[in-house]
Structure 1
Amino acid sequence: MEKYKISDSQLVSLYKNGSEEAFEELLKRHKSRVFTTIFLIVKDKYVAEDLLQEVFIKAIRTIKGGRYNEEGKFLPWILRIAHNLAIDNFRKDKRYPTIVMEDGSPVFNTMEFAEGSFESAQIRKETHVKLRELINELPEAQKEVLVMRHYMDMSFQDIAESTGVSINTALGRMRYALINLRKKMKQYNIAYDQNFYPR
């Protein structure tokens, strides 16, 4: 039980001195946050699981190689590794999800985009980045349902079971997530900008 009182930096030191259990504890503490960081960028469960392993392999190599110098800041450090690996992967994979608002209008319908100018491609890329940022700002419960529904393509039945709530609660969280997302998008003038849709 004492391990719960040990700080991340102490666990890193123990791992440097040969304690595999110390790294297992770091993994257990932060795996979920690291996975979420990756998943929100790559939007694919299997890709995220692969990248999660890469992140911790990179962390092991850095620590064992004596190049780790972020004492006391293990989580921000490993999240930065996760973010960078996920962004690199995302740049290779240009698929985007279609999130449908309450009134049935899509936020983006990227599969139907015509080949446009560099400028329109750049605007589109920046808008998708902003959308992911806005999703990240949602309350945890709402973000969780939105991600499961639109990024993992889960049914509300599965979402309810996974999160331990009723289907009505899951639907309610989804509704509020979309309402909040719409409000945030309106602030940035990206809610229903016709420039992002084929006419």
Structure 2
Amino acid sequence: MTEPNQPQPDPNKPEPTIPPLDTIADSERMPPRTPRTAPPRPAPIRLRDDVPTGALVAFGVIGSAAVLLALIKGVPKVMDWSHHQDWRWFTQWVATVADPVHAYLAAHTAGLPLTASSAFVIWQGVGLAALILAWLTGAVGARLTWIAHGACTAAMVWDAAPAAGRPVATALVVLAWTIGSLFALRGLSLRPVLNLHNHPAR
């Protein structure tokens, strides 16, 4: 029910029209970009102009004396220390890895033009070259070669090592490969790289 004094709406009165929406281009909506200028870098130090000649000569003399002192005093001590160390653990580690590989190659190169000794040399050369190239260049091919070399080495040692010492020999291969991977796979990250391109609006 409506109140008696309330005016009644006129049914014949037209409804108000809605004005059309004016679209604005995106280039007009966004404020113009202002280029970001990097802070000025300090000028590099020029040895000839900024450092006195006497200081350069003093630094050269002190540096040369320090190098000579390190060579005279340090090298004999290092050599004396190395002579008193027992390095049999290292040679035994190398033999634990290399002997099964050589035995595997000798057993699986029968009837091939390639001898077991040549295959063993190739195995050593490929591993060393892949390690050095992956370390110095970080190339994908060198790193893949290093990974494949480690996997093949572990498989050969697992197959040719004695049954009783097979797990230990394979573990030593993996440990040696991971130590080399500290250099060969340096800087490698498993996190995905997201490239976000901010295109200007048209």
TM range (shorter): under 0.3
TM-score by length of 2: 0.24
TM-score by length of 1: 0.24
Which protein is bigger by CA-based radius of gyration?
Answer: 2
Q: Which has the higher helix share?
A: 1
